[in-house]
Amino acid sequence: MFRFFLSRSFHDLWDNMMAVACFNGAALAITAAGITLATRFESISVRILSIALIVFGAAYWCAVASFAFSEVADFKSVKLETVRRALAKALVPGMQLGAMLTLAITSAATGLRFYSALGGFIGAFAASLLFWLLASLCLMLQYYLPAKAGGGGGFIETMKLSFLLFIDAPLFAVALFLYGVVCIALSPMVAFLLPGPAAALLAGCEAYRLRMHRLRWLKASGGTATGPTPWKELLAQDREEFGERKLKDLLFPWRR
């Protein structure tokens, strides 16, 4: 399954390169606006406003990109109409994500410093516990926007689903996070436009679709399924729609 995930993520990135680059360009614009606002004015209130702009602007951008790339995960394409619909649907999920990120950042900045200052076993234990809780939250939130775009449930329902996806395959969640880190680390080579954070969000939508096959299989079995996951059967339709992709298909897509 993981090999198929990597193959789909790479080929869908290639097929939607212009859309990914445009989304990355928008992310750069949001970041630049926040940094410019923070460095141009000395006022603390303006600096707080600039941080809020970056956090909530980035969260809304993530939501718009996830709603758009959810179409790609469903074997469709990103069009202007897709982005227009995503702009409307992503507002509330984006603000929810922004609030959760603000809470996580505040907890990390204040909690870790406070517990570290305590010293001793209790301080070290509390700091490490908070760190792992925040790390788990970050891994879980990778699925929040794709689940919101794909399922359309309420906040609590989507958080529960995100938790189930994370707890069902924590190593896969770690691998997905590392994949995103690699995408961002490689982006300076192409002026921060490719693959960038947009490619990581695209991969998150792909991962959500694939991992949901297993959750539906478990639900259909009433939670009594045993043995290895029958990924060959679960991914049969996805493999059929994805088709056989080779190197020449990347260079000459019209020959497919």
Write out pLDDT tens, residues 150-162: 987 899 999 999 9
- The whole-angstrom separation of Cα 78 and Cα 16 is 8
Taking residues 86-95, what's their average pLDDT?
Answer: 96
Which residues lie below 8 Å from residue 234, measured CB to CB, with a gap of 6+? 213, 214, 217
Angle between helices 155-168 and 196-220 (to 10 degrees): 90
Distance of CA 19 to the CA centre of its chain: 16
- The whole-angstrom separation of Cα 89 and Cα 1 is 30
Cβ(232)–Cβ(43) below 8 Å: no
What 8-state DSSP symbol labels residue 221? T
Ramachandran region, residue 75 (left: φ > 0; alpha: ψ -120 to 50; beta: rest):
left
> Is the model's pLDDT at 203 over the cut of 80?
yes
Question: What is the per-residue pLDDT for 248?
Answer: 65
> In angstroms, what CA-CA distances link 133 with 143, 165, 176, 203?
16, 16, 18, 24
Taking residues 107-118, what's their average pLDDT?
Answer: 89
Read off the amino acid at residue 33: A
> Is the model's pLDDT at 250 over the cut of 90?
no
> In angstroms, what CA-CA distances link 159 with 14, 45, 57, 199?
31, 32, 21, 23
Structural domain spans, the chain: 2-255
What 8-state DSSP symbol labels residue 74? T
> Is the model's pLDDT at 122 over the cut of 80?
yes
> In angstroms, what CA-CA distances link 100 with 95, 144, 149, 225?
9, 11, 17, 34
Quick one: tokens of 39? 């460095």
Quick one: tokens of 43? 């006022």
Tens-place pLDDT, residues 209-236: 999 999 999 988 876 777 789 999 999 9
